[in-house]
């Protein structure tokens, strides 16, 4: 096995990075891939609660980096899917407890162990962000269709390119198609026009995301919700499948049942 290391980052906080890592992780692992999710948001760990694994933490990322445990000991197995693991962030330390070269070493150690490493980046463009992207093969930039999130995404894309990490791919999260339709939300095409990078996925605004994180059961465990389906589609695209983008402007259930376009 040689894992692909993906980092999800955004510049602006709260756009849905942690939600995305949990759901893409679950979706990839549901297809039989071996996935390790790494929470690199040291001091503000959250991936554990979104995944519902907070009660099983013994060791964390800083314990691994500082040699207090072996890598395997810090990998919490999510038993709902065959091969999904979480390496949680340390909660009582700060970003400076880890360096970019620590992260490169960690990623190199993980690569032969699995198919995918997904790194949840902290918001911002400081130390924690550079740690998060240091070991990545590919960067996923996440944004919301909203003016400040898009602006910050552009900054981050510029930095990623300057760091010679290649051109990142984009996920647009929390798209509200009713608002787009009435002209009160920037559309997917507008965002792509402005940012000029490749689109990886579109995730709709969906109340179920909050219900799922309340329960600690990522939506992508089943594909019954729109957001869950969107994350599953993203996972399939990552595995090289051509999956059409969800038509969110689309017709209601009745029109679909009647086969009308």
Partner 1 sequence: MSFIDRMIGRKKSAGSAKERLQLVLIHDRTDLTPAELEALKDDLIEAISRHVDIDSAAVRISVAQDGRSQRLVADIPLRSASRRRSR
Point out which residues bind partner 1 (CB under 8 A).
146-147, 150-151, 154-155, 157-158, 161, 167, 180, 182-187, 190, 193-197
Contact assessment for residue 24 and residue 51, using Cβ atoms and an 8 Å cutoff:
no
Contact assessment for residue 121 and residue 7, using Cβ atoms and an 8 Å cutoff:
yes
For ligand ATP, the binding residues (CB under 6 A) are 10, 13-19, 41, 46, 123, 173-174, 203, 205-206, 209-210, 213, 227
Q: Residue 107's binding partner, choosing from partner 1, Mg ion, ligand ATP, none, with beta-carbon cut-off 5 to 8 A by kind?
A: none
CA dihedral 201, 205, 210, 211 (to 10 degrees): -100
Query: Can you say how many angstroms the Cα of residue 30 is from the centroid of all Cα atoms in its chain?
Result: 16
In angstroms, the CA 250 to CA 257 distance is: 13
3-state secondary structure of 113: helix
To the nearest whole angstrom, how small is the minimum distance from the Cβ of residue 104 to partner 1? 26
Q: Where are the beta strands (DSSP E) in the chain?
A: 4-9, 35-39, 76-78, 84-87, 116-120, 138-143, 169-175, 198-204
In angstroms, the CA 250 to CA 248 distance is: 5
Q: Tokens 């980092």: give the residue.
A: 7
Q: Is the Cβ of residue 113 or residue 146 nearer to partner 1 in the bound state?
A: 146
To the nearest whole angstrom, how small is the minimum distance from the Cβ of residue 136 to partner 1? 19
Letters for 15-44 (x = contact with Mg ion by CB under 5 A, - = none) are: --xx--------------------------
To the nearest whole angstrom, how small is the minimum distance from the Cβ of residue 183 to partner 1? 3
To the nearest whole angstrom, how small is the minimum distance from the Cβ of residue 24 to Mg ion? 14
To the nearest whole angstrom, how small is the minimum distance from the Cβ of residue 8 to partner 1? 20
Q: Residue 173's binding partner, choosing from ligand ATP, Mg ion, partner 1, none, with beta-carbon cut-off 5 to 8 A by kind?
A: ligand ATP
């Amino acid at each position: 096995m040689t894992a692909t290391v993906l980092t999800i980052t955004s510049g602006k906080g709260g756009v849905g990075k942690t939600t995305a890592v949990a759901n893409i992780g679950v979706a990839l692992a549901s297809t039989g891939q071996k996935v390790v999710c790494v929470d690199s948001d040291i001091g503000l760990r959250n991936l554990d609660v979104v995944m519902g694994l907070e009660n099983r933490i013994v060791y964390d990322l800083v314990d691994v980096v500082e040699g207090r445990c072996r890598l395997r000991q810090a990998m919490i197995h999510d038993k709902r899917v065959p091969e999904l693991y979480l390496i949680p962030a340390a909660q009582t330390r700060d970003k400076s407890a880890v360096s970019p070269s620590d992260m490169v070493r960690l990623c190199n150690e993980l690569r032969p162990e699995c198919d995918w490493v997904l790194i949840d980046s902290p918001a911002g463009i400081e130390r924690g962000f550079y740690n998060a992207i240091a070991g990545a093969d590919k960067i996923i930039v996440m944004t919301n269709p909203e003016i400040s999130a898009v602006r910050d995404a552009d900054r981050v894309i510029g930095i990623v390119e300057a760091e010679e990490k290649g051109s990142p791919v984009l996920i647009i999260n929390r798209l509200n198609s009713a608002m787009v339709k009435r002209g009160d939300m920037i559309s997917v095409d507008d965002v792509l026009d402005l940012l000029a990078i490749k689109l990886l996925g579109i995730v709709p605004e969906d109340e179920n995301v909050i219900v799922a994180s309340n329960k600690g059961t990522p939506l992508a465990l089943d594909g019954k919700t729109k957001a869950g389906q969107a994350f599953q589609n993203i996972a399939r695209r990552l595995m090289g499948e051509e999956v059409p983008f969800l038509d969110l402007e689309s017709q209601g259930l009745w029109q679909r049942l009647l086969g009308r376009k």
